[in-house]
Amino acid sequence: MNSFFRYARRSFSSSAKAYPKTFDKILIANRGEISRRVIKTCRKMGIQTVCVYSDADRHSMFVREADESYRIGPPPTNKSYLDMNKIMEVVTKTGAQAVHPGYGFLSENKLFQKMLADNDVSFIGPPGPAITAMGDKLQSKLLAEKAKVSMVPGYLGAIKNDKEVIKISNEIGYPVMIKASAGGGGKGMRTAYNDKEAVEGFRLSKQEALAAFGDDTIIIEKYIEEPRHIEFQLLGDQHGNYVYLPERECSVQRRNQKVIEEAPSMLLDPETRHKMGTQAVDLARACGYYSTGTVEFLVDKNLGFYFLEMNTRLQVEHPITEEITGVDLVEEMIKIAAGHPLDFTQDDIKINGHSIEMRVYAEDPSRNFLPSIGFLKKYQEPTKHENIRIDTGVQEGSEISMYYDPMISKTITWGQTRDEALELMKEALNEYVIEGVVDNCGFGLSICNNEAFAKGVYDTSFIPTYYPEGFHGETLTADDHHIIAITASQLKNIHESENASLGFTPKSFEKIFVTIDDTDYQVDVNPLTQEYTVGVVGEDETTTISMKDFSYKHNVLVNFRTKEKEHGRRDHTLQFTGVSNELDYNWVYKGTRLATRVYEENQFSLKKHMAPPKVIDYGKVVMAPMPGAIIAVSVKVGDTVEIGQELLTMEAMKMQNLIKSERSGVISAINIKEGDAVPVDAVLIELE
């Protein structure tokens, strides 16, 4: 069964398998990569697909790939993807017999499920009562407690005001987690270590919850320190059959949102896995659940585990479960919704290998992971490989819009061992070519190279612990500089040969100078042997490096192999991200962005006469760290502010962000007001 499942999942596009009768036509009430994912399974099952789209998505890949596509409104979600009436109109118009909600948007909306049921349209997901019970954190915890699921200490009533927040938080004991009862995806969630943070977190969580879910009910529970976030995928049919699938580890998170997931977890032993999976199934039975769902737990270092929440939908990270089991979860959802029983049992589910998923986002890890919007001027995915899966909704030229989640793709790798999957992930992240927006590939690569992560010894504090100031690139060594210097020399000569083909006088330099981080390197090139001798200008010590198998793809991606006395044979991948002028060459190497200056000998002799780059002091202004909308301004002109004082609140990608002062001073100008939309780096406030 094990090998069959895995091979079958690899054959997504195959129509050779016989599928039971389900639906003739399914509408997908979502967008982007998850819409494409559902289309792929529907196509292999012989089911027609209908997509809906907003104006912002009119050129998207999923719109073209569906059998039918219909516009439902302008970009804001409340006027498009959350507008149940408009979606229902398309369902009626097209004769779709079922709706797959994907994740997010209406996927856990009990009113939408009821609207479909009232119109004899199947909802490809759980029944309404289960959505109600599990979709609300407060009710789900009460039900979980009744089902004897292990619980986190906390207060299961709704919190009314600041005074109550402080009282309950102190009774539970800091630190506490303050979160929206109707929440998910990290929204409406704050950790507090004292009374001040509790009150602030309560206010922000209520605001975010009301904006995102239309419900500002807040609950408080004990924050388990050094926890690992482990979740169990389950499947249940309408005939009372249930299975749990191997767990996923989701402990690498920023802003309470997952970044890297893997399956299975390195922490669990078979006994704990069975206990947790069994409790997940018990909870599903208790609420009459069917379809796919995910029960999330916090697990401490002693393997004590505590119920966190249940997500009544397909999860973003579902591919890694598919990779190690071979079960097509979307297929199972469709068959269950059509009334078919599961055709496998718990004994059939085995763990085959290891899988890792990295969420590639348009976000800036150096700016607290704030979103980056814009057009993908260049977008090239990693080299195709049978064990690398890319789930994406974008292509070169696509727009990363301010209206939606800034995910670019999900990169999924599989290996017989964790080490194999991890090495493949490193290769994949190294090969992504993304220009036009800031991305987190370098950050993901850094995580994969982190010693603790490589050993599987980490918890949900991983990012705050190892990246307390965000990710600003790795610190490159002298050896790294040598590799960059010889690569720059090779490209310098390639560019000169390209100029010759345009009619310019041909040149080939055998002595090239490269400036990296204020250090000048001399590179002597032997064009016959492809040997490069590199050293710091003015110093006697040099290193000789042989270069082989040099390739330069998409005018960006550089791959080659080197041989040197100290390190032996090594493979290298760099990205050349363009030139600012004839001298300035820009790179990404080991996830780090850096600029170099590349001179031929005559140019280098004039370097001392060149003006240094101009340094601009931005110390007296507060700039927008991301594009977004101004929710509130907390100061006025003439106010004296201190370091850390709240200045304003911005909303971006449905998350509210406090902007605080990084220096003391007097407010001299406020250039924005509540309701303004601002671009990244806009000057918001000026200080004297």
Q: pLDDT tens for residues 444-472?
A: 999 999 999 999 999 999 999 999 988 98
CA R_g for the chain: 27
Give per-residue pLDDT as tens, 391-404: 999 999 999 998 99
* Sign of the alpha-carbon dihedral angle for 443, 448, 452, 453: positive
Amino acid letter for position 229:
H
pLDDT class of 256 with cuts at 50, 70, 90: confident
Residues 257 and 394 in one domain: yes
Q: Which helix (H) or strand (E) holds 448?
A: helix 441-449
SS3 content of the chain, % helix, strand, coil (to 5): 30, 35, 35
**Domain end: 431, 466, 501, which one?**
466
Task: Determine which one of 36, 37, 273, 313 is catalytic.
Answer: 313
Residues 522 and 656 in one domain: no
Q: Residue 124: its pLDDT value, please?
A: 98
Report the DSSP beta bridge partners of residue 571: 561
pLDDT at 5 over 50: no
How many domains does the chain contain in total? 5
Q: Is residue 435 part of a domain?
A: yes
**Domain end: 444, 466, 488, which one?**
466
Give per-residue pLDDT as tens, 513-571: 999 998 999 999 998 888 999 999 999 999 999 999 999 988 899 999 999 888 889 99
Q: Is residue 28 part of a domain?
A: yes
Decide: 130 and 287 in contact? Cβ < 8 Å: yes
Residues 352 and 315 in one domain: yes
- Here the CATH number for the domain that contains residue 566 is 3.30.700.30
Amino acid letter for position 316:
V
* Sign of the alpha-carbon dihedral angle for 379, 384, 388, 391: positive
Q: Residue 84: its pLDDT value, please?
A: 97
Give per-residue pLDDT as tens, 193-232: 999 999 999 999 999 888 878 888 898 988 887 899 999 9
Give per-residue pLDDT as tens, 292-330: 999 999 998 889 899 999 999 999 999 999 999 999 999
Q: Is residue 20 part of a domain?
A: yes
- Here the CATH number for the domain that contains residue 641 is 2.40.50.100
Average pLDDT over residues 631-655: 88
Residues 388 and 520 in one domain: no
- Here the CATH number for the domain that contains residue 112 is 3.40.50.20
pLDDT at 347 over 50: yes
pLDDT at 476 over 50: yes
Give per-residue pLDDT as tens, 427-440: 999 999 999 999 99
Residues 459 and 482 in one domain: no
Lowest mean pLDDT among 270-284, 399-413, 607-621: 607-621
Kindly write down the DSSP assignment for every residue of 31-44, as one continuous string.
Answer: -HHHHHHHHHHHHH
Q: Is residue 146 part of a domain?
A: no
Q: Residue 504: its pLDDT value, please?
A: 63
Q: Is residue 324 part of a domain?
A: yes
Instruction: Count Cβ atoms within 10 A of the Cβ of residue 307 and give its class: 0-12 exposed, 13-18 middle, 19 or more buried.
Output: buried
pLDDT at 661 over 50: yes
Residues 89 and 17 in one domain: yes
pLDDT class of 502 with cuts at 50, 70, 90: low
Q: Residue 614: its pLDDT value, please?
A: 55
Lowest mean pLDDT among 10-14, 351-355, 548-552: 10-14
Q: Which residues in 79-104 are b (16+ Cβ under 10 Å) and which e?
A: ebbbbbebbbebbeebebbbbbbbbb
Taking the whole predicted model, whether its pTM rises above 0.75 is answered as: yes
Backbone angles phi, psi at 210, to 5 degrees: -65, -40
* Sign of the alpha-carbon dihedral angle for 363, 367, 368, 370: negative
Give per-residue pLDDT as tens, 138-148: 788 889 999 99
- Here the CATH number for the domain that contains residue 217 is 3.30.1490.20
Distance CA 372, CA 370 (A): 7
Lowest mean pLDDT among 21-35, 400-414, 595-609: 595-609
From residue 51, alpha-carbon distances to 144, 208, 271, 354, 383 in Å are 36, 29, 43, 33, 29
At 460, list the tokens: 């949900």
pLDDT at 587 over 50: yes
pLDDT class of 2 with cuts at 50, 70, 90: very low
Residues 505 and 523 in one domain: yes
DSSP-derived secondary structure letter, 468: B
* Domain carrying residue 661: 618-687
pLDDT class of 4 with cuts at 50, 70, 90: very low
pLDDT at 15 over 60: no
Residues 68 and 196 in one domain: no
pLDDT class of 9 with cuts at 50, 70, 90: very low
pLDDT at 417 over 60: yes
Among the listed residues 349, 521, 361, the one whose alpha carbon sits nearest the alpha carbon of residue 439: 361
Among the listed residues 525, 534, 430, the one whose alpha carbon sits nearest the alpha carbon of residue 481: 534
Distance CA 357, CA 627 (A): 27
Amino acid letter for position 43:
R
User: Which of helix, strand or coil describes residue 89?
Assistant: helix
pLDDT class of 11 with cuts at 50, 70, 90: very low
Q: Is residue 147 part of a domain?
A: no
Q: Is residue 454 part of a domain?
A: yes
At 634, list the tokens: 């907390």
Q: Which helix (H) or strand (E) holds 360?
A: strand 354-361
Q: Which residues in 169-178 are b (16+ Cβ under 10 Å) and which e?
A: beebeebbbb
Residues 20 and 119 in one domain: yes
- Residue with the two structure tokens 């969420």: 359
Across the chain, mean pLDDT equals 91
Backbone angles phi, psi at 516, to 5 degrees: -130, 120
Residues 371 and 501 in one domain: no
Q: Is residue 320 part of a domain?
A: yes
Average pLDDT over residues 99-124: 96
Query: What percentage of the chain reaches a pLDDT higher than 90?
Result: 70
Residues 26 and 92 in one domain: yes
**Domain end: 202, 222, 242, which one?**
222
Q: Residue 432: its pLDDT value, please?
A: 95
Residues 245 and 180 in one domain: no
pLDDT class of 14 with cuts at 50, 70, 90: very low
Could you tell me if residue 470 is left (phi over 0), alpha (psi between -120 and 50 degrees) or otherwise beta? left
Give per-residue pLDDT as tens, 169-193: 999 889 999 988 876 667 788 999 9
Backbone angles phi, psi at 180, to 5 degrees: -70, 135
At 217, list the tokens: 């009910």
Say which residues have a Cβ less than 8 Å from residue 235's Cβ, sequence separation at least 6: 242, 243, 245, 291, 292, 327, 329, 332, 336, 342
Instruction: Count Cβ atoms within 10 A of the Cβ of residue 271 and give its class: 0-12 exposed, 13-18 middle, 19 or more buried.
Output: exposed
Q: Residue 185: its pLDDT value, please?
A: 64
Query: What percentage of the chain reaches a pLDDT higher than 70?
Result: 94
Is residue 248 flagged as an active site residue?
no
Distance CA 586, CA 113 (A): 51
